[in-house]
Structure 1
Amino acid sequence: MSFVFPKAQSIPVGIVLRRAPGVTRWARHVWRAVALLPGAGPAEWKVLREVEGITEFHAATLPLTLFVSDTEAYLHELQAREPSLYAVLRPDDSRADIPWKAVLLTASPYEAQDYCDSDEALVEKLTMPEGMRAWIGDFVQRHHEEENFVKRRRDRLRVDRVEDGIGDPRIAQESDVYRAPGRRKAGQP
């Protein structure tokens, strides 16, 4: 099912998280996003597979929304050696057995970087399926407009002007008109 917004396009994508036994005594489990399910139906922590203590969950289905304003970011990601999508996970204290909640799926590496700058979220990089590459590539091809570089020109500096009023008027000295005013000591004007 595809959602269409003005200047945007969206499809539902399932996020698969894997829970494996921890390797230290401080971490009982290791959680990692491992796969995407394009066009998936709604799910909330549905067990997909259990093998030797490793469990894979269909954690959530989130919309992957492409915006016309972000086509430069999508193009950048499509040109990467291994194009990826980014799942943003936040800690969830509502359940003891499931510590993460999937909150966002994006194709923009710039948006993912914004979430990486915070310690409140975990950002997982997932390989973009081939069909999604074609869908995102088609969207970029239809909507991307290359912006021309415009070099800013400086105003020509006029050195013959008289500089009235430079500095702080509270400073009576003519030696250093740029000096910051300070406390006056006894005996100074």
Structure 2
Amino acid sequence: MEVEITRQLGVVLEKRKSTHRWGGDIWMPIAVLVDPPQTDGWQEIEAGEGRTLFHYGPVPLTLHRKLGEAYDANIETENPALWVMLDDADTEPVPFKMRGITVDPYEAMGVLDSGEGLVERMPVPADVLHWMVDYLKQMPTPEKFKKRKRVNHKAEEQKFGKTPIFEAGGRREEQRGDG
């Protein structure tokens, strides 16, 4: 089994005018492309009717052997998802730079908790889902949990004829009693 595998995807981002009088533009990833064309950054692919579509690709989606539990948690939900993660940027025409795409819900949650950029949950394309499942089937089954047997603690015998400090009659008690 390979340690990690990678597949290239593309992202389609939509820009719409806000209907709120103080709002600016609304940006939202609306699609993930399975076989994306090569672009040099964000490229406008369609404009009109109050919206503009941009494409970015390819973006690597990497599955790692050690994250199988996270991928399983994602697949076992009713609607497996992938997350498009964008970081804020001061660029034109799109004010985001691509951070990546992940199918690890814990990674997406960590980026969401940071409160920066844009993270959007998207449905996993069927082709990508089959690719993930094939990789997960190759993973060895995890070892069963083995509970360790309890070992009784054996207290050390006092040596050198001294009373332990924290026992009744020990040095600490003697110091408090004398003062």
* TM, length-normalised to structure 1: 0.76
How many pairs are equivalent? 169
2:76 to 74, 79, 85: 79
Partner of 2:67 in structure 1?
70
Residue 56 (1) aligns with residue 53 (2): yes
| Closer, same or farther: CA 161–88 of 1 in aligned 2, 3 Å | farther
| Closer, same or farther: CA 154–173 of 1 in aligned 2, 3 Å | farther
User: For 2:18, what is the secondary structure of its paired residue?
Assistant: strand
Identity of aligned residues (%): 28
Provide Cα deviations, 1:14-41, integer angstroms capped at 9, x if missing partner.
Answer: 0111111113233310111111011213
Q: Report the Cα distance in structure 2 between the residues aligned to 1:126 and 1:151, rounded to whole angstroms.
A: 40
Provide Cα deviations, 1:64-88, integer angstroms capped at 9, x if missing partner.
Answer: 1111111111111111111111111
Residue pair 1:12, 1:41 contacting (<8 A) in 2 also: no
Unaligned runs of 5+ in 1: 1-5, 175-188
Residue 31 (1) aligns with residue 27 (2): yes
Q: Report the Cα distance in structure 2 between the residues aligned to 1:21 and 1:28, rounded to whole angstroms.
A: 7
Residue pair 1:71, 1:144 contacting (<8 A) in 2 also: no
RMSD: 2.8
Partner of 2:176 in structure 1?
173
User: How far off is 1:143 after superposition?
Assistant: 1.9
* Range with bigger deviation, 80-89 or 24-33: 24-33
Unaligned runs of 5+ in 2: none
Provide Cα deviations, 1:64-118, integer angstroms capped at 9, x if missing partner.
Answer: 111111111111111111111111110011x143211111111111211221221
Residue 118 (1) aligns with residue 114 (2): yes
User: For 1:97, what is the secondary structure of its paired residue?
Assistant: coil
Partner of 2:97 in structure 1?
101
Residue pair 2:12, 2:29 contacting (<8 A) in 1 also: yes
Residue pair 1:11, 1:39 contacting (<8 A) in 2 also: no
Q: Report the Cα distance in structure 2 between the residues aligned to 1:18 and 1:166, rounded to whole angstroms.
A: 70
Partner of 1:10 in structure 2?
6
User: How far off is 1:50 after superposition?
Assistant: 2.4
Q: Report the Cα distance in structure 2 between the residues aligned to 1:91 and 1:62, rounded to whole angstroms.
A: 17
Residue pair 1:49, 1:56 contacting (<8 A) in 2 also: yes
Q: Report the Cα distance in structure 2 between the residues aligned to 1:45 and 1:122, rounded to whole angstroms.
A: 16
Q: Report the Cα distance in structure 2 between the residues aligned to 1:115 and 1:82, rounded to whole angstroms.
A: 20
Provide Cα deviations, 1:142-184, integer angstroms capped at 9, x if missing partner.
Answer: 12422322335554356898892339x778336xxxxxxxxxx
Residue pair 2:36, 2:57 contacting (<8 A) in 1 also: no
